[in-house]
Amino acid sequence: MSACATTEKDPTTGWSVDKIYAEAREEMSNLQFEKAATLFEKLEGRAAGTPLAQQAQLEKAYAYYKNKDTALAVSILDRYIKIHPSSPALDYALYLKGVVNFNEEVGFLELFSKQDMSDRDQKAAKESFEAFKELVTRFPDSKYSEDARLRMAYMVDTLARSEVNVARYYHKRGAYVAAVNRLQVAIQDYQGTATVKDALELLADCYDKMGLVQLRDDTRRVLLTNFPTTIQTKSVPRPWWKLW
């Protein structure tokens, strides 16, 4: 009896699904994202099996994203993509998953710091890239695809620089084989980026340190062919988001 007396009454008892949705949207407007997510959760259960339940699931993911609960937002989106492969909103789900991970990588504080994104763990960036890639491949005409392509173009250079930064770490410690492996990934997977030049320079030096003269010379020829005015340098281009 004591336990029953302390049980909180669900304020949404007796509400229609339309009222729950309206209240959830109101909470979103008031920036009460956690409350909104809770309401969307209830709506998803009450409207199970209907398009409104699917809409609630997507809006719940967005609410958690705005509440900075990235992991939960991605988890909800992964479930949605798996369960609703033919949903008319699948392009939005893929786009939102990409945005959630993209903004996880580009945090507000980094806009005012000197930290290079490529120095960080690139797990979120890679997941973001893959989501955007699936979006533009499967839904090239989606209204979200143009923005996805722009974000992908930025991330390609970031991911390439990340591989080169890891390779430099190995290079400094004499782990040349490990450095070569990372540099080959950067060169093969991220062709067309400015970072390929840095990768080729460092790759040639790794081969030189390993005594692999033929590979060193071949790499230098590739470097000079693609970058005829190259100067041996380890500089890294400044990202667009860095203010100084």
The 10 Å Cβ neighbour count of residue 88 is 9
Average pLDDT over residues 78-89: 95
Whole-number pLDDT of residue 2: 52
Dist. CA 160–CA 237, nearest whole Å: 12
Cα separation of 15 and 161, whole Å? 53
Alpha carbon separation from 224 to 37, 187, 196, 228, 235 (Å, rounded):
55, 15, 12, 5, 17
Domains of the chain: 16-88 (1.25.40), 95-104+118-244 (1.25.40.10)
Each residue's pLDDT tens digit, 214-224: 999 999 999 99
Q: What pTM, to 2 d.p., does this model score?
A: 0.70
The tens digit of pLDDT for each residue in 145-204 reads 999 999 988 888 888 888 899 999 999 999 999 999 999 988 988 888 888 999 999 999
Predicted pLDDT at 42: 95
Spatial contact of 167 and 131, defined as CB atoms under 8 Å apart: no
Residue 176 in tokens: 């040349």
- Of the pLDDT bands very low, low, confident and very high (cuts 50, 70, 90), residue 119 is very low
| pLDDT tens-digit readout, 230-243 | 554 443 344 433 33
What pLDDT, on the 0 to 100 scale, is given for residue 234?
42
User: Do the beta carbons of residue 97 and residue 60 sit within 8 Å?
Assistant: no
CA distance 37 to 12: 14
User: Using CA of residue 115, residue 121, residue 124, residue 130, what is the dihedral sign?
Assistant: positive
pLDDT at residue 16 greater than cutoff 90: yes
